[in-house]
Amino acid sequence: MDKSWMHSDRRSKAYEFGVEAFLNFAVENLLTTTHIRCPCVNLKLFGVGIIRDHVYFNGIDQSYKNWTFHGEPWEATTNASRNVEEDDGHSRYSFVSEEIDMDDNDFGDFGSDPYEFANVIRDGDQPVYPSCRKYTKLSALVKLYNLKAKHGMSDVCFTELLILQGDLLPEGNTIPTSMYEAKKTLCALGLSYEKMHACPNDCILYRKEYEEGKDSILKEGVPAKVVWYFPPIPRFKRMFLSHETAKSLTWHAARKSIDGQMSHPADSPSWKLLDDKWPEFGNEPRNF
């Protein structure tokens, strides 16, 4: 099959005909036509219409020369350089079936208790197995999860990797046995976030009353802009877990004032105006 179109200008007729030929080939050779793997840089599963848009917008991965994940038989070759290139493409595509995000949907109800952070401190000191000095339970888990995100492993694949790691390491190792247990540890680090669609001109966030839109028109495709929101409240709660840190955070309320000397912004007229205007907020020294 002619694949020279992959290197053509995306605005050319050759590229257009090549995209249609590729999509027809994928639909004819796969068992399902609902979702197929997108050959653009996103590497995710979509419908044919969305994939067509992605290939025009993002381009096609030019290292994907053997379309094994779209029904083409794998071709063996004696050329060493070609073997390396195609093996690299195979490793990139073989594990990716969905986007790997550690957002609030992944964590569910994990991390709602700030005292779980104390367990993270313990895991950071606990060796991954007895007599191990290089890795702790937490550092090993973070390394493994970085590999998961980098190479696009599914949760099922990552669970099997954890089980294999546990079998390879000596008895008494602390490697979790499932993605569920791994998330329980990682969520306490405050890695969760919320993704919001935004206007490219930064004039609006499509959230709350704007999340669903007003014209009732649903469009599929890649959003123009996505921002990540990291909730600050869990971090504030963890800050108060330390007695010394909590003492510093509430120092403005417990300090001894010295007349004629400003030692904290709480001594300024602006801070006092805020306390007078919102007394309920000002009466709680732990408010930020």
* Tens digits of residue pLDDT in 163-204: 998 899 898 888 988 888 888 777 777 667 788 888 888 888
pLDDT of residue 94: 34
Q: What is the pLDDT of residue 75?
A: 53
High-pLDDT (> 90) share of the chain, %? 2
Give the phi and the psi of residue 169 in degrees, each rounded to 5. Answer: -80, 160
- Averaged pLDDT for residues 23-32: 74
Distance from C-alpha of 275 to C-alpha of 283, rounded to nearest angstrom: 8
pLDDT for the residue numbered 214: 62
Domain ranges of the chain: 4-94, 104-189, 253-282
**Residue showing tokens 């004819």:** 28
Sign of the C-alpha dihedral computed for residues 118, 124, 129 and 130 taken in this order: negative
What is the predicted pLDDT for the residue at 96?
33
Q: Which helix (H) or strand (E) holds 45?
A: strand 45-46
Task: Write down the pLDDT at residue 190.
Answer: 66
pLDDT interval class at 281 (50, 70, 90): confident
pLDDT at residue 147 is higher than 80: yes
CA distances from 140 to 15, 136, 201 (A): 45, 6, 41
Between these two residues, 151 and 91, which has the higher pLDDT value? 151
What predicted TM-score, i.e. pTM, was given to this entire model? 0.41
Q: Other CB atoms closer than 10 Å to residue 151's CB: what's the count?
A: 15
Which carries the bigger pLDDT value, residue 113 or residue 248?
A: 248
192: phi then psi, degrees, rounded to nearest 5? -70, 150
